[in-house]
């Protein structure tokens, strides 16, 4: 989605803005632009990649204040004119904006009646023109007045040539942080954009306005009431957001999984006492153990992890558990009674639908938890309690380590609650021991990563794939199919294996790749039957099986092995070969692995 960067200080702003925009590229965009300011406003923007913009910029520009933006088109095509920053008719004011102004049509009509001529089709220009119309010598005041007139979501940065060395920023529903440096301040929608300069940040809250100069940060509410804010420390380092010798962030993040899962589990698995320690749940443990119902919600990969969570909670905690797409939950009339706990699962902590579902759940009185990766993100801050994933920054658009982190966190929450309900000490001990072995087991799978590459090489010319799984591996089948389609543009469908005979079996034809997760467990015989059904219709079976299974090769065209673990923890292992297949398929097909077409890393609009 769109990205925001801003700088006021004593250094030339442009290289800082361009570098920041480069670090925001992973979020997905289709045009970019910057505005620099001294006595005049100088705006440069271009459709396409950042490199196109760089060709028309004077990288030696001396100005020490400016804003930059990467746009992901919503209102109007990705053209030079529609790219941000947008200016008002006087040419004094420039605005960059993430989010959507929902009443832009009405405001546009009003402004046109007042004589404003628009240059672009965007909702952001409406905001720029409105601020321009209300400006009477005080930029912060004009922004405040304008924002009272708009509905929708925004994270904005605003410059005015009458007030050089000032950026006014504001937020409602779209993340913004202020980086605090020595004699300089930065503005960003994502910590990655400013990490090279500072790790000290102030989070802008919803309904807050920030006015930054090189030496001062002033925060107020929309009603001009001063807000005291703490400066917080970002834990992520610059190295973590760089490629470190890998060709793509996705493969780097796949290979990071053993290490980051260690980080996720560290201090939380107590192998001596056979207990799970979750500091984030201490204050609500009593309420949680009394919960009568759990609703897990999220989108995409996070929803798949939540589906694993449903199986885990029902088996370990014995509490009725449901999984809801956040986008459906927010618009239904969900039944939230006393004792309902809603867990929002999200890597970014900024996904608009998940955030809205959470707000709905809170309004109806649910206790809300977050299973979130980005520390300080909106969902993390707005939930009553939660457990961070601690898997480090995920840059590749295709979620990989966030999925395993989400499943690991849900497994720990399930075991933590299970022990306070029906889970026996010995069952908990087995579970904790098995979970602690997972990082090394993932490493073992990665040591044989070439096997998955060979499968990808053999089948990437096929345009339709099926993924089948049962029980805990059904969500993994969905996740494997999502990974393949989103980065290689191959059509893939994931199914609970038994559903195949209710329709999708009609699709199977000679040579169609069908990935079947057939690990040891309660439904092993049944999944072998499914494999036979596929093969007897000419399909090519790629099985994911448990090491030591000597029979499976007779029923499959290829077998990728994973180590043995408890059934509830299998998704943490079985997903790894599927991530690798998707990655290699995309590379072989020449796709842009980390920035697939039409996709954004974090979907902050509906
Ligand atoms: C998966 O590879 C995608 N990037 C997408 O489905 C993602 O998981 C979804 O948009 C939710 O994002 P979140 O975890 O940041 O909320």
Q: Which of these is catalytic: 2, 264, 299, 415?
A: 2
Query: Could you write out the DSSP letters of every residue in 217-245?
Result: EEEEETT--B-----EE----TGGGS-TT
Residue 329's nearest CA partner among 307, 366, 297, 364 is 297
Place of tokens 């979130």: 372
- Look at residue 421 and give its three-state secondary structure: coil
Average pLDDT over residues 241-247: 86
Residue 237 pLDDT class (50, 70, 90 cuts): confident
Residue 4 has a pLDDT of 97
DSSP code, position 472: G
Q: Is the CB of 302 under 6 A from ligand 1?
A: yes
Tell the residue nearest (CA) to atom 16 of ligand 1.
Answer: 346
Non-local CB neighbours of 85 within 8 Å, separated by 6+ positions: 33, 34, 35, 43, 45, 67, 69, 94, 95, 96, 128, 159
Q: Is 601 a catalytic residue?
A: yes
Q: For 297, list phi and psi in degrees, rounded to 5.
A: -140, 150
Q: Is 2 an annotated catalytic residue? A: yes
3-class DSSP assignment, residue 17: helix
The DSSP secondary structure of 507-558, one letter per residue, reads G--TT-EEEEE--SSTTHHHHHHHHHHHHTTTPEEEEEEETT--SGGGG-SE
Q: How is residue 594 written in tokens?
A: 């980390």
Structure tokens at 413: 């929450």
CA of 539 to the centre of ligand 1 (A): 30
Centroid of ligand 1 to alpha carbon of 602 (angstroms): 7
The CA 595 to ligand 1 mean position distance, Å, reads 13
- For the chain, how many residues are written? 606
Identify which of 330, 343, 350, 399 to mutate to test ligand 1's pocket (most ligand atoms within 8 A of the CB). Answer: 399
pLDDT tens, residue by residue, 151-170: 999 999 999 999 999 999 99
Torsion over CA of 114, 78, 251 and 577, rounded to 10 degrees?
Answer: 100
Domain 448-599 in CATH: superfamily?
A: Glucose-6-phosphate isomerase like protein; domain 1 (3.40.50.10490)
Q: Whose alpha carbon is nearest atom 6 of ligand 1?
A: 300
Ligand 1 centre to CA of 110 (Å) is 38
Among protein residues, the one whose CA lies closest to atom 11 of ligand 1: 299
Q: How far apart are CA 241 and CA 34, in angstroms?
A: 23
Q: List helix spans (H) across 291-384.
A: 300-312, 326-329, 352-363, 378-382
Structure tokens at 235: 């834990």
The domains spanning 244-446 and 448-599 adopt the same CATH topology: yes
Calculate the alpha carbon distances from 120 to 47, 75, 456, 537 in Å.
Answer: 13, 9, 44, 55
**Which alpha helices (DSSP H) does 376-523 contain, by range?**
378-382, 401-419, 425-447, 449-459, 474-488
- pTM value? 0.85
Assigned CATH for 244-446: 3.40.50.10490
Q: Tell me, which fold does domain 3-234 have in CATH?
A: 3.60.20
**Catalytic choice (92, 172, 252, 601):** 601
Reported as half-sphere exposure (CB side, CA atoms, 13 A), residue 46 has a value of 11
pLDDT at residue 453, as a whole number:
97
pLDDT at residue 601, as a whole number: 83
Flag whether pLDDT at 83 surpasses 90.
yes
The residue whose CA has the least distance to atom 9 of ligand 1 is 300
pLDDT at position 603 over 90? no
299: which 2 tokens?
A: 């989108």
DSSP, collapsed to helix, strand or coil, labels residue 232 as strand
- 594 within ligand 1 shell (Cβ under 6 A): no
Q: In Å, what is the CA distance from 519 to each residue of 7, 319, 516, 563?
A: 53, 26, 9, 9
Distance CA 278, CA 269 (A): 9
Answer for the pair 47, 73: CB distance below 8 angstroms, yes or no: no
pLDDT in tens, 297-336: 999 999 999 999 999 999 999 999 999 999 999 898 889 9
Q: pLDDT per residue over 85-102, tens digit each?
A: 999 999 999 999 998 898
Using CA positions, which residue lies closest to atom 5 of ligand 1? 300
pLDDT value of position 236: 82
Look at 477 and 234; give whichever has higher pLDDT.
Answer: 477
**Residue 443 alpha carbon to ligand 1 centre in Å:** 24
Domains in the chain: boundaries:
3-234, 244-446, 448-599
In angstroms, what is the span from residue 271 Cα to ligand 1's centroid? 32
Report whether residue 400 contacts ligand 1, using a CB cutoff of 6 Å.
no
Please choose, from the candidates 433, 399, 387, the residue with its C-alpha nearest in 3D space to the C-alpha of residue 264. Answer: 387
| 122 closest CA partner among 153, 145, 149, 101 | 101
Residue 539 — φ and ψ, nearest 5°?
-65, 150
* pLDDT tens digits along 175-209: 899 999 999 999 999 999 999 999 999 999 999 99
Arithmetic mean of pLDDT, 266-294? 95
Ligand 1 atom 2 nearest Cα: 398
Q: How far apart are CA 74 and CA 3, in angstroms?
A: 14
d(CA 169, CA 156): 5
């Amino acid at each position: 989605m769109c990205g925001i960067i801003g700088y006021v200080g004593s250094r030339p702003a442009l290289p800082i803005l361009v570098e920041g925009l480069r670090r925001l590229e992973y979020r997905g965009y289709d045009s970019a632009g910057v505005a620099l300011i001294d006595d005049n406003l100088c705006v440069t923007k271009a459709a396409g990649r950042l490199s196109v913009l760089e060709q028309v910029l004077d990288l030696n520009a001396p100005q020490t204040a400016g804003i930059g933006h990467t746009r992901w088109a919503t209102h109007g095509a990705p053209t030079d004119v529609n790219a941000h920053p947008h200016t008002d008719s006087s040419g004094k004011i420039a605005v960059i904006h993430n989010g959507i102004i929902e009443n832009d049509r009405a405001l546009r009509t009003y402004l046109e009646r007042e004589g404003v001529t628009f240059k672009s089709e965007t909702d952001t220009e409406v905001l720029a023109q409105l601020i321009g119309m209300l400006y009477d010598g005080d930029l912060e005041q004009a922004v405040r007045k304008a924002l009272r007139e708009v509905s929708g979501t925004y994270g904005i940065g605003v410059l005015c040539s009458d007030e050089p060395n000032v950026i006014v920023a504001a937020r409602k529903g779209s993340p913004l942080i202020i980086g605090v440096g020595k004699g300089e301040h930065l503005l960003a929608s994502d910590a990655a954009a400013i990490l090279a300069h500072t790790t000290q940040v102030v989070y802008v809250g919803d309904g807050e306005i920030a006015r930054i100069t090189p030496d001062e940060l002033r925060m107020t509410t929309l009603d001009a009431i001063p807000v005291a804010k703490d400066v917080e420390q970002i834990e992520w380092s610059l190295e973590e957001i760089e490629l470190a010798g890998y060709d793509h962030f996705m493969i780097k993040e796949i290979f990071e999984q053993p290490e980051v899962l260690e980080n996720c589990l560290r201090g939380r698995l107590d192998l001596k006492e056979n207990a799970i320690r979750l500091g984030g749940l201490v204050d609500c443990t009593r309420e949680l153990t009394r919960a009568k119902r759990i609703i897990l919600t999220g989108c995409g990969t996070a929803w798949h992890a939540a589906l694993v969570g449903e199986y885990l909670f029902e088996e370990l905690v014995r509490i009725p558990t449901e999984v809801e797409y956040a986008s459906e939950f927010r618009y239904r009339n969900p039944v939230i009674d006393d004792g309902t706990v809603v867990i929002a699962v999200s890597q970014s902590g900024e996904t608009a639908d998940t955030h809205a579902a959470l707000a709905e759940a809170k309004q109806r009185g649910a206790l809300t938890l977050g299973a979130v990766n980005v520390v300080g993100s909106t969902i993390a801050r707005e939930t009553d309690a939660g457990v961070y994933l601690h898997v480090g920054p995920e840059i590749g658009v295709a979620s990989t380590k966030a999925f395993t982190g989400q499943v690991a966190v849900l497994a720990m929450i399930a075991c933590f609650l299970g022990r306070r309900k029906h889970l026996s000490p010995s069952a908990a001990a087995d579970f904790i021991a098995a979970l602690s072995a997972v990082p090394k087991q993932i490493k073992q799978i990665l040591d044989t990563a070439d096997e998955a590459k060979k499968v990808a090489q053999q089948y990437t010319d096929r345009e339709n794939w099926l993924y089948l799984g049962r029980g805990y591996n059904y969500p993994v089948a969905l996740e494997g199919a999502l990974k393949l389609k989103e980065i290689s543009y191959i059509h893939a469908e994931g199914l609970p294996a038994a559903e195949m005979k209710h329709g999708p079996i009609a699709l199977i034809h000679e040579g169609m790749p069908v990935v079947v997760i057939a690990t040891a467990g309660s439904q092993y015989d049944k999944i072998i039957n499914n494999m036979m059904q596929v093969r007897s219709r000419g399909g090519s079976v790629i099985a994911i099986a448990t090491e030591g299974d000597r029979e499976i090769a007779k029923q499959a065209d290829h077998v990728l092995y994973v180590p043995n673990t408890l059934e509830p923890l299998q998704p943490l292992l079985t997903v790894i070969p599927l991530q690798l297949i998707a990655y290699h398929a995309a590379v072989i097909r020449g796709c842009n692995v980390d920035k697939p077409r039409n996709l954004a890393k974090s979907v902050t609009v509906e």
